[in-house]
Structure 1
């Protein structure tokens, strides 16, 4: 799996209403527009109380995608949606932090411990 496409971007809603978006593999430059559309639509139209970007299975992230995730954190704040990024690798966590994702939004879940 070299790039993200519809089959490698899972979107699900948990029983508590949390929307979990889980890309897999490489999130490259060609994937950014689709990812951005899904994230923005979820925040603006679905408006869950919490949105989780689960990056457990992402091993490379285009810098534009990192910037998109940072922007979605701010958009979520504007719309009352708490946005969190779960299980990024150490490298991707550094990349997201550099792009402006607040460190308190980056989390390791128990499944990864």
Structure 2
């Protein structure tokens, strides 16, 4: 599709074991499996103390991917992995909250980590 940006997922591990996942671009339905697999693999196989999904460079997160992030939060609770979403645009934060992600898990710029 002309004009569609394909997201890239930058993943790194901090010294304290935190896994930072930083997608770039619009996260649409056709990317749902990629995001879901990355989140589930990180929670279930890597099992870091926390995952930070940094949405600074994301303008759009469709409903299927909102559900994947909310499900990753719930899965993280089951596996004692804290899942946080940093820097979501306000419309994305509202959708994530409506999908069940608690407000303390949504970190806006200037919010303490």
The TM-score normalised by the length of structure 1 is 0.91
Q: CA separation in 1, counterparts of 2:95 and 2:74?
A: 17
Answering whether residue 5 of structure 2 is matched by residue 2 of structure 1, we say yes
Does 2:44 match 1:41?
no
Is 2:22 aligned against 1:22? Answer: yes
Higher share of residues assigned strand: 1
Could you tell me how far apart the structure 1 residues matched to 2:94 and 2:80 are? 26
Q: CA deviation at 1:79?
A: 0.2
Structure-2 residue corresponding to 1:95: 95
Q: Which residue of 1 aligns with 2:65?
A: 65
Per the normalisation by structure 2, the TM-score is: 0.91
**Deviation (angstroms), 1:58:** 0.3
Shift of 1:110: 3.8
Q: Cα RMSD (Å) of the superposition?
A: 1.4
Task: Look up the SS of the partner of 2:95 in the other structure.
Answer: helix
Quote how far apart the aligned CAs of 1:2 are.
1.2
- Looking at structure 2, the residues matched to 89 and 109 of structure 1 have their Cα atoms a distance apart, in angstroms, of 10
Report which of the two has the higher share of helix: 1
Say how many residue pairs are matched: 108
Correspondence for 1:76: 76
